[in-house]
Chain A
Amino acid sequence: MSQALRILLSFLAFLSSVTLLHGWMNLDWFRGDGRKQLTVAHLPVT
């Protein structure tokens, strides 16, 4: 395998793993929750 291909493949692996990690940690992708959700926005000030 050429070096360029190796760099490319390992970068793709990194990209997909960081995407999955982000989805899991910050976007609740893998939380199969059947309940309805609504986001309510606010600032930390009354």
Chain B
Amino acid sequence: MRMPRLTAFLTATAVFVSAFTLAAQAAEEVHVLNWKGYGADEPWAVANFEKATGYKVVNDFFNSEQEMLTKIRTNPGLYDVVMINAAFNDQAMAGKLIQPIDVSKLSNYADIAKDKAGSPMLNHDGKVYGVPWVWGLTALAINDKSFDKPPTSIAEMWDPAHKGRVIIRDDAVEAVQFGALASGQNINDIKDMEAVKAKLTSLMPQIKTFWSSENDWNQMVASNQIDIGTYWSGSADRAKTHFKLPVSLVIPQEGSVAWLDAFSIPVDSKNVAGAEAFINYMIDPKFYVEWVTKVGAPVSANTKAVDALPEDAFNRKVMGSPDVAKRIQFQAPITDEQREKYLALWQELKVNVK
């Protein structure tokens, strides 16, 4: 008796709160949920989009994929566009958080690379649940001041010369997949967890701190506190182009983790038309070229957008080269059991450094 009453009360509170937010929200707003400083919140891009369409963009941010899922779950109806890593699309769809997208409304959709658009991670039952936006690598980035010539191997992270000057992201999945690469395994099919654990255990004393946002990483380099660390390709490009920091991306010979970021529309979106317009703008070549030139970005999933870059652009020349394509491994979805196993391992490693 008591329990349903409590549930009812909680629901009532939730409805009450969302009714309030609803009333406060103008009809023509597009609420976007994305990483901070990741394209969608660029002031010039927002201004261009608002001028072209008349919608008003409201940005909100997350610091981890789990936080993003939490935000959609706990704020039904608040967001219209959400940026979801393709490896999490499955989970979001299964949790009934996102809706199928009518891609016929997106004029730029036809130009998206066929392997990305047709990815089984984004398509379920013949319906499209995610529009591929950009892809990139979780590779290594170095502080140019600490190296005469860029290293080629992941083993550089374990070099005693860099003791206390190494940084990795505070993320269980990324850490474990990085350990898998370092121990020569397939990131999506880790057979020898003990080898991963041994690798990461020996890496711990090397580490200065863990990063969780681009800002952390860039500040560590700006104050010359680190030599090398894991970083995202787009972020390294942004650190170099936009913040003029001495940062270079290294794709080690052992390979790199590749990810695909896509836009989805939450189930309870109040402005699906606005969401479609925004997503279409985000995959537009014109936006992409401006983003790369002004700020620095990962590689667009839109082939026409990549072709619009200069011949020698990093995102066209290096990221598009067949040699790199051979070395990278795309992240596949991870089950909850795997995630919990990775998290337990990561927490154990972090506690044992004490």
Report if A and B associate in a common complex: no
- B: residues with CB less than 8 A from A are none
